[in-house]
Amino acid sequence: MIRKSWWKILAFVLLIYTCSVGFLVKVPSPPGVPLHQTIRNLFFHVPMWIAMMVCFTVSVVYAIKYLNKADVKADIYSTEFARTGAFFGVLGLLTGMIWANYQWGKPWSSDPKQNGAAIGVLIYFAYFVVRGSLHDEEKRARIGSVYNIFAFFMLFPTIWILPRLTESLHPGGQGSEGNPGLNPKDSSPAMRSVMYPAFIGWTLLGVWITTLRIRVQLIQQKRLAHE
């Protein structure tokens, strides 16, 4: 039992470590860069996007698997990983808005990366709307899988490409005036000792949540099959 749950224990330990040490670790205060204590959001905001991308990647892999083999379980896996990915996407937006409120003076400044991230998440919300509008299970799974692939590849221009081609307060954009979150001047070895475990911990939590939802869906499917 413990052997099968080792990664869940690891997720719990890493998140406890992140949520405790993350508020105690000494953070840098580079001159001329008003990060102050807000940089601690790095342990939450950035890992949310990483967890989101991992979940969306796994989701699209299962979507492709469904289109190849028409496996109902693959559709369930794909849908639930997409749900968790969207959940972490919303958390990424919210934690980003909290950080922006302190750094830029307001939660939403229509920054290209903010807009792109919101569009990317909304595209996945449309994915759930499309699935919910179809009553035929086979058609829902097939069309949903195709849309899932479209939504995944739309993340790259909306989140990673277009914002880098325009001026942005975020790091990485043209004419960026913001504070590069991973700039060595703004971080420290002590911060990285929390940041990297945070990446793993939040991602494992996302997988954990998804596996629980998948288990529930499979149980419900068996009950319907017996009725």
Domain extents in the chain: 49-175+206-226
Dihedral-angle region of residue 134 (phi above 0 means left; psi in -120 to 50 means alpha; beta otherwise): beta
What does the mean pLDDT of the chain come to?
86
Q: Is the pLDDT of residue 180 over 70?
A: no
Q: Is the pLDDT of residue 47 over 50?
A: yes
Task: Name the DSSP letter for residue 167.
Answer: B
High-pLDDT (> 70) share of the chain, %: 86
pLDDT higher at 152 or 33: 152
pLDDT value of residue 178: 44
The model's confidence at residue 129, banded by pLDDT at 50, 70 and 90, is: very high
Rounded Cα distance, 17 and 197, in Å: 8
Whether 123 contacts 92, CB under 8 Å? no
Q: What are phi and psi of 35, to 5 degrees?
A: -80, -45
Average the pLDDT over 205-218 and give the result.
95
Average the pLDDT over 132-160 and give the result.
93
pLDDT higher at 171 or 177: 171
**Which residues touch 41 (CB under 8 Å, ≥6 apart)?**
95, 98, 99
pTM: 0.89
pLDDT value of residue 85: 97
The model's confidence at residue 177, banded by pLDDT at 50, 70 and 90, is: very low
Rounded Cα distance, 39 and 53, in Å: 22
